A and B are shown apart, each in its own frame.
Chain A
C-alpha cells in the first residue's frame, strides 16, 4: 500500500505505483472552493495572510475534496507582491489579483536583494504552512506552488508593455526575467527545505497562444527550465503547467525539464503523450465540466480520462470557486476506485 506521498513521488520520478495520484497543486490551480469554506468556516481572504489560516484551509481542502495533497498557496500574487506590486486580495469567492504592477517598463525595474519573496509576511506564511502540514501529516505531499517566471514578470511590469518589450527590449527583458527567476529559485529552496514534497510551477502568461513558439522557446522554456533544474538539485520533483492550446508548441514542450507536464482541457493527453515520446503528463478534467456538469458526468469523464495513460490526474486549469464539492469528489473518487 502506497501513501499518497510515495505514490506521487514514485509517479513523478518514473517508479512504480499502484495507481495514478489525483491532486490539485495549489496556486493558480487550487481547490479552495466556496463549498469547502462554508462547511468548515476557514475562509478566504483570511487564509491568504497567515500560516495558521492557510494551514487550516489547505487541510480542509485536502480533507473535503479527496485530493491527495496539500496545495499551497491559494493565489498567484505572493511573488509579485514581494517584488513590489500592489495586490487586491479579493473575497471569499474571488481570488486575489494584481491591483497595479509596480513598473511601467522592464527598463524601470529596480532589483531587490535575492531572497526577497521569503522575507515577506505572506512568503513566510506559505513556507510555515508547508512546514507545519508536512510535519503533521508526513504521508500527504505538501506541494509548494510558484507563479511562473513570465507570469511573475508580467505581474511586476505592466503586461501590455512587457509583452512588447519581449521583442523590443530583449536584453532588458531577459535581465528582468532572470532576476525574477533567481527570486523564485531562492523561495523554492525555502519551500523545499521546509518540507515541500513537490514544487509546481504554473505560468499562465507563458502560453503558445500568447507568445507563439519562438518566444515561448526563447523565454518560457529557458526560464522554466532554470527553475526546474535548480529545484531538482534540492532533490524534489517539479510539475510544470502550461495553459491553453499547446499544438503549436509541442517541440518546445518536449524541451521542458519538469517531471510532469500539466495541460489544459482542450489538449488530448493521449495524443500529447504519443507526440512527446512518453513524457509524463498530468491533467486534465475540464474545470468547466467541474463547475457546470453534474457528479455523474464528471465521474464518467474521469473514467474515460483514466484510459488515456495519464500519469497524474488533476483539474485542467484553475477551478472556479463556485465549483460544487460533489463534482470534485466524483472526480477524486473515480480515480481512487482503481
Chain B
C-alpha cells in the first residue's frame, strides 16, 4: 500500500535519525516513484531527521560517530532526490565560508560544523586549515558570502580571529558579513572581545547561530 507523503516523510526522518542508509535510499526512491515533490521530501523528511539528530547531539544522546552516520544516511537520500528538484524550487541558500585559522593535529570540529550546516541547507565553502585572515576576507568577498565562520583549536594562537575582524574593518566591508567563531579554547566572552557577531559551542549550536545570523540584518 502506498504511503501518504506525510507517512513517508516521517519514515525518512526516522531513517536519518536511525543512521539507516539503506532505508533512507529506499524511501527516497519511493518518494520519487510516488511522484512526491523532491524538494519537500528533502525538507520535511531528510533535513527534519538531521535536525532531530542535532537535537539528540545537543542532549548528549548522540555523539560525533552517530551524527556522522546520520549525515551519511541523509547524503544517500540527497543524492537520489536532488536531481529531481526543479530549478524554481531552489531557494536562495545563504553562503558561508568556513575554515580553521591555524591548524591542529586534526579538524574534526570544523568538519562536523560544515556537515551540519550543509545538512541545514547552507551553501558552505570550506577553506580548510591554516587559513590566513586575508584569505578568509578575500574569499568571503569573492564568494559573496553572508557569514564567515572561523574555528580555532587548542594549542595555537587565536590572534588570527581578531585580525580577520580588523581586516574586514580596514577593507570597509565589516558590515557585509557576519563573523562567527568557535573551537576548543574560544568562548562567547572571547567572541565579544574581538568584535565577532557570535559564538557557538558545538556543531548543532553552530547551525542555530548561522540561522540567526542569516536572518539578522
Contacts and interface: CB of A to CB of B under 8 A. Distances in A.
Interface of A: 28, 76-77, 80, 88, 90, 93-98, 151, 154-155, 159-160, 163-164, 166-168, 204-205, 209-212, 215, 243, 248, 287-288, 291, 317-322
A76 B105 contact: yes
B105 A155 contact: yes
A85 to B, nearest CB: 10
Given A164-B72, A321-B156, A322-B159, A211 B65 contact: yes
B92 to A, nearest CB: 29
B105 A98 contact: yes
Contact of B103 (A97, A288, A318): A97
Interface in B99-122: 102-106, 108, 111
Interface residues of B, number: 29
B105 A97 contact: yes
Contacts of A151: 105
A142 B5 CA distance: 66
Contacts of A212: 60, 62-63, 65-66
Given A211-B65, A288-B185, A320 B156 contact: yes
B64 A211 contact: yes
B69 A167 contact: yes
A12 to B, nearest CB: 24
Contacts of B157: 93-94, 320-322
A287 B185 CA distance: 8
A204 B154 CA distance: 10
Interface in B70-113: 72, 102-106, 108, 111
A88 B129 CA distance: 11
B155 interface: yes
Given A168-B69, A204-B154, A288 B104 contact: no
Interface in B102-158: 102-106, 108, 111, 129-130, 154-158
B106 A154 contact: yes
B166 interface: no
B68 interface: yes
Among all A-B residue pairs, the 7 with the closest Cβ atoms: A318-B155, A212-B63, A318-B154, A322-B157, A163-B65, A97-B103, A210-B64
A96 to B, nearest CB: 8
A210 B154 contact: no
Contacts of B185: 287-288, 291, 317, 320
A322 B163 CA distance: 15
11 contacts: A154-B106, A155-B105, A155-B106, A163-B64, A166-B65, A167-B66, A209-B202, A243-B184, A288-B185, A288-B187, A320-B155
A154 B202 CA distance: 20
A291 B155 CA distance: 10
Given A97-B105, A167-B66, A215-B63, 6 more contacts: A155-B105, A163-B68, A212-B65, A287-B154, A287-B185, A288-B185
Nearest to B156: A94
A88 B130 CA distance: 11
A214 B111 CA distance: 23
Given A248-B60, A318-B155, A322-B157, A88 B65 contact: no
A164 B65 contact: yes
Contacts of A164: 65, 68-69, 72
Contacts of A243: 154, 184
Contacts of A209: 63-64, 202
B158 to A, nearest CB: 7
A77 B105 contact: yes
Interface string B188-209: 0010000000000010000000
Given A160-B68, A166-B65, A288-B185, A317 B106 contact: no
A10 B104 CA distance: 34
A277 to B, nearest CB: 24
A210 B62 CA distance: 9
Interface in B32-61: 60
Nearest to B61: A212
Contacts of A211: 63-65
Interface-central residue, B66, B111, B157, by most chain A CB under 10 Å: B157
A155 B108 CA distance: 11
B63 A317 contact: no
A318 B185 CA distance: 10
A322 B185 CA distance: 14
B193 to A, nearest CB: 9
Given A321-B155, A322-B159, A98 B68 contact: no
B188 to A, nearest CB: 13
Contacts of B63: 209-212, 215
A317 B184 CA distance: 10
A211 B57 CA distance: 11
